[in-house]
């Protein structure tokens, strides 16, 4: 960046003086001090629903033919937000609105010197994506697979944006997978869901969960028929359920195996003189203890943690509703 030579006020030569423990340009004649401040620059991340963001190809130097976010200097009399939206309009033809601040960083440019680059996320309001101003092209690229960008500040802002959106995208993906599975009639048999981690926690801690469940059903008024049964036998059955639980709930065990197990469980409990309503209540209590135990592992700082527990609850409902249905049918037919 070129240094000033003459004073804007008196036209005399500028010299160097130490003020506030820093060298500054000072007029030798009128003592006017010329402070050097970073230039404000605004850039925009404009995503679409496909997790792509709009980039522009630079028509001139520096970095001609390289891609970058819509970017440019803020002008006197406009806010940094207005500058971002103006650059977006000039370079891509898109009228947008600011969604949130993504990143602020300092950058040194060999031509302009110190810059302060402010990056916003914006939302498209209107317009047709058309290259304009100093751009030769504009196009959407997958945000996780962008070409090399012209400016390091853009690269940094994109990484910050991905971090900001990561949990939300994971929730969207898990919801889509779960809903698609339910629509196709598979119910809880969806894979690669956010709640898979909690299901694994339940399986790995089956003994603790079963002990809590046994303490409950051997004293609970809703399961009086269980009060006199062998704790060892009950533990063995419950251990088998939770041991296979993650395989069943992820659809890795067949529906036939699930049906046969609960038909057999119903027959065994009928032989033990357990009444049907107590049997159904025992399944409901097992579901409760699985959910409560995994809930205790939660760190409730992020929305993704809350969603993970919600999703687990829905999968438990699907699974234990089916288990209860086969148990009732098996009880009646035995």
The tens digit of pLDDT for each residue in 86-108 reads 999 999 999 999 999 999 999 88
Q: What is the spatial distance between Cα 135 and Cα 198, in angstroms, rounded to a whole number?
A: 49
Please say if the pLDDT value at position 206 is more than 80: yes
Across residues 223-244, what is the average pLDDT? 87
Same domain, 11 and 140: no
What is the sign of the dihedral through the CA atoms of 250, 256, 261 and 263?
positive
Higher pLDDT, 202 or 216: 216
Please say if the pLDDT value at position 19 is more than 50: yes
Do the beta carbons of residue 154 and residue 71 sit within 8 Å?
yes
Please say if the pLDDT value at position 315 is more than 80: yes
Whether 200 is in a domain gets the answer: yes
A 10 A CB-CB count for 73 gives: 12
Q: In CATH, what number is assigned to the domain containing residue 24?
A: 2.20.70
Across residues 239-261, what is the average pLDDT? 80
**Segments forming the whole domain that contains residue 106:** 39-166
The tens digit of pLDDT for each residue in 147-163 reads 999 999 999 999 999 99
Same domain, 11 and 136: no
Strands (E), 222-274: none
Q: What is the spatial distance between Cα 258 and Cα 322, in angstroms, rounded to a whole number?
A: 9
First to last CA, the chain: 90
* Residue indicated by tokens 């806010």: 79
Same domain, 12 and 67: no
Q: In CATH, what number is assigned to the domain containing residue 260?
A: 1.10.490.70
Q: What is the spatial distance between Cα 150 and Cα 181, in angstroms, rounded to a whole number?
A: 42
Share of the chain above pLDDT 70, in %: 95
Whether 178 is in a domain gets the answer: no
Residue 98 contacts by C-beta under 8 Å, 6 or more apart in sequence?
81, 84, 85, 120, 121, 122
Same domain, 146 and 224: no
Q: What is the pLDDT of residue 175?
A: 86
Across residues 114-136, what is the average pLDDT? 94
Same domain, 88 and 209: no
How high does pLDDT run on average in the chain?
89
Q: In CATH, what number is assigned to the domain containing residue 162?
A: 3.90.79.10
Higher pLDDT, 308 or 6: 308
């Amino acid at each position: 960046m070129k240094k000033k030579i003459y004073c804007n006020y008196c036209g005399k030569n500028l010299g160097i003086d130490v003020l506030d423990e820093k060298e500054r340009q000072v007029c030798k004649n009128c003592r006017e001090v010329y402070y050097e401040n970073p230039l404000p620059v605004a850039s925009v991340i404009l995503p679409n629903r496909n997790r792509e963001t709009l980039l522009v190809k630079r028509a001139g130097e520096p970095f001609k033919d390289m891609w970058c976010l819509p970017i440019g200097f803020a002008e006197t009399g406009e806010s940094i937000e207005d500058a971002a939206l103006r650059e977006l309009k000039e370079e891509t033809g898109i009228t947008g609105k600011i969604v949130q601040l993504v990143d602020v960083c300092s950058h040194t440019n060999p031509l302009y010197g110190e810059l302060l680059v402010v990056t916003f996320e914006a939302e498209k309001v209107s317009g047709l994506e058309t290259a304009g101003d100093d751009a030769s092209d504009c196009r959407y690229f997958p945000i996780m697979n962008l070409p090399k960008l012209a400016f390091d500040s853009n690269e940094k802002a994109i990484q910050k944006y991905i971090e900001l959106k990561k949990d939300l995208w994971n929730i969207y993906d898990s919801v889509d997978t779960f809903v698609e599975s339910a629509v196709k009639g598979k119910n809880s048999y969806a894979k690669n869901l956010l709640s898979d981690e909690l299901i694994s926690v339940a399986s790995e801690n089956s003994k603790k969960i079963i002990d809590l469940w046994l303490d409950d059903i051997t004293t609970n008024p809703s399961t009086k028929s269980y009060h006199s049964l062998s704790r060892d036998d009950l533990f063995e059955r419950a251990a088998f359920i939770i041991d296979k639980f993650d395989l069943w709930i992820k659809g890795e065990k067949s529906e036939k195996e699930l049906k046969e197990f609960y038909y057999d469980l119903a027959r065994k409990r009928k032989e033990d003189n357990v009444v049907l309503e107590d049997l159904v209540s025992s399944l409901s209590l097992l579901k409760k203890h699985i959910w409560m135990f995994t809930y205790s592992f939660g760190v409730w700082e992020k929305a993704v943690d809350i969603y993970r527990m919600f999703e687990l609850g829905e999968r438990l409902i699907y699974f234990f509703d089916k288990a209860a249905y086969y148990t009732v049918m098996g009880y009646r037919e035995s």
